[in-house]
């Protein structure tokens, strides 16, 4: 275990029910995310990917093992770990700018008015939200709302960004665009990131490393280094490394699918 490990899961176990009805979900999951690294967690549905994120954020507990940030166990939510949810969790009664500024107005992480304005402007720009500062969420598309959510998570300057399938509800085109936007943002402002997804392509495009989880009871099936050169663009998706990796991962995912494994159209 290197000292650079920012986020660590060590032999994490959890499940629900008890006695004969006990269902193990996480059955000894261990991996870590190094400082500045972007790691995707890929796995079949129901394997407990989101549970891992929830533990790292401090929303849920585990039965045994350790979830640690900087070597210290996570005990609850904290502004040092920013979260982007699959559902659009931006506050509907606040404008885009107010949403992004929210974390900076809290006692735990209060910034002056001037600092806040500067930070909001920076992330409005980074996420391409210029001109929408005063818009209410209800007037925005799904993709725009997630951009606000990402800007809001960045704005509190978290040490770790946790993202739980943030693009899963978007259409294919918007999704690719959002992946590129997030990748570019992360090139400019490097954050340690854990990204939960069930999309092979998304995992490859965004990550330095991919942690592949097995079916339930879940453990780490494989950890893959992504050797597609950065910065990545739409073109990268067509490179040999990308396609090779994609073929391998699609194969792995198919083998773990609960549904008819052979000859299934995807």
Partner 1 sequence: MAHARRLLPLAGFALFLAFWYAVALSGVFAPGQLPRPDQVVTTLVDRFANDGLWRDLQLSVLRVLIGVVVGCAIAVPVGFALAWYRSLRAMFDPLVSFFRALPPIALIPLVIVYLGIGEGARLSILIYAAFFSSVVVIYEGAAATDEIYVRAARSMGASQVEVFRRVVLPLTVPQVLVGVRVALGVCWATLVAAELIAARRGLGATIQNAANFFQIDMIYGGVILIGLSALVMDRLLAVLMRRLVRWQERVER
Using CA atoms, how far apart are residues 230 and 241, in angstroms rounded to an integer?
A: 12
Site for partner 1 contains 36 (CB under 8 A): no
- Say whether residue 98 binds partner 1 (CB under 8 A): no
Options 114, 138, 265, 266; binder of partner 1; rule CB under 8 A? 138
109 vs 236, beta carbon nearer partner 1 = 109
- Among residues 49, 147, 152, 209, the one that binds partner 1 under rule CB under 8 A: 152
CA 72, 78, 80, 81 torsion-angle sign: positive
How far apart are CB 130 and partner 1 at their closest, in Å? 21
83 forms part of the interface with partner 1 (CB under 8 A): yes
**Contact 97/134 with Cβ under 8 angstroms?**
yes
Name the one range near partner 1 by CB under 8 A: 55-63, 120-128, 199-207, 255-263.
55-63
Binding status of residue 183 toward partner 1 by CB under 8 A: no
Q: Which residue number, 189 or 251, has a Cβ lying nearer to partner 1?
A: 189
Rounded CA-CA distance 166/185 in Å is: 15
Residues 208-247 that bind partner 1 (CB under 8 A): none
Applying CB under 8 A, which of residues 35, 121, 136, 220 lies at the interface with partner 1?
Answer: 136
The answer to whether residue 100 forms part of the interface with partner 1 (CB under 8 A) is no
CA distance 126 to 212: 30
Q: Which is nearer to partner 1, 75 or 266 (CB)?
A: 75
Q: Is 59 in the site for partner 1 (CB under 8 A)?
A: yes
Q: Whole-number minimum distance, CB 134 to partner 1, in Å?
A: 12
Computed over its alpha carbons, how large is the radius of gyration of the chain? 19
Task: Say if strands 81-84 and 160-164 run parallel, antiparallel, or are unpaired.
Answer: parallel
> Interior CA angle at 203 toward 153 and 254, to 5°?
140
Measured from the CB atom, the residue of 86 and 219 that comes closer to partner 1 is 86
Report the distance separating Cα 103 and Cα 137, nearest Å: 17
Contact 167, 202 (CB under 8 A): yes
- The answer for residues whose C-beta is within 8 angstroms of residue 29's C-beta and 6 or more apart is 9, 11, 12, 13, 48, 52, 65, 213, 218, 219, 220
Residue 135 engages partner 1 in binding (rule: CB under 8 A): no
Residues interacting with partner 1, by CB under 8 A? 57-59, 76-79, 81-83, 85, 87, 89-94, 102-103, 106-109, 136-138, 152, 156
């Amino acid at each position: 275990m290197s000292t650079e490990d920012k986020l660590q899961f060590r032999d994490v176990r959890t499940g629900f029910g008890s006695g004969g009805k006990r269902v193990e979900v996480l059955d000894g999951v261990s991996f870590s995310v190094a400082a500045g690294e972007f790691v995707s967690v890929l796995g079949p549905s129901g394997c407990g990917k989101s549970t891992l994120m929830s533990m790292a954020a401090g929303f849920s507990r585990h039965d045994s093992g350790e979830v640690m940030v900087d070597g210290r166990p996570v005990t609850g939510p904290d502004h040092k770990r920013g979260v982007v949810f699959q559902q659009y969790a931006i506050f509907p009664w606040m404008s885009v700018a107010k949403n992004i500024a929210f974390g900076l107005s809290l006692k735990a992480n209060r910034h002056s008015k001037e600092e806040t304005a500067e930070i909001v402007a920076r992330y409005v720009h980074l996420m391409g939200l210029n001109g929408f500062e005063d818009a209410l969420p209800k007037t925005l598309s799904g993709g725009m709302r997630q951009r606000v959510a990402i800007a809001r998570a960045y704005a509190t300057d978290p040490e770790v960004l946790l993202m739980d399938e943030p693009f899963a509800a978007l259409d294919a085109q918007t999704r690719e665009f959002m992946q590129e936007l997030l990748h570019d943002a992360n090139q400019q402002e490097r954050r340690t990131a854990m990204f939960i997804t069930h999309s092979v392509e998304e995992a490859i495009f965004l990550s330095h490393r991919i942690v592949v989880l097995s079916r339930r009871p879940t453990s780490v099936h494989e950890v893959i280094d992504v050797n597609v050169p950065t910065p990545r663009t739409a073109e990268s998706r067509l490179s040999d490394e990308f396609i090779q990796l994609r073929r391998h991962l699609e194969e792995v995912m198919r083998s773990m699918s609960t549904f008819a494994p052979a000859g299934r159209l995807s």
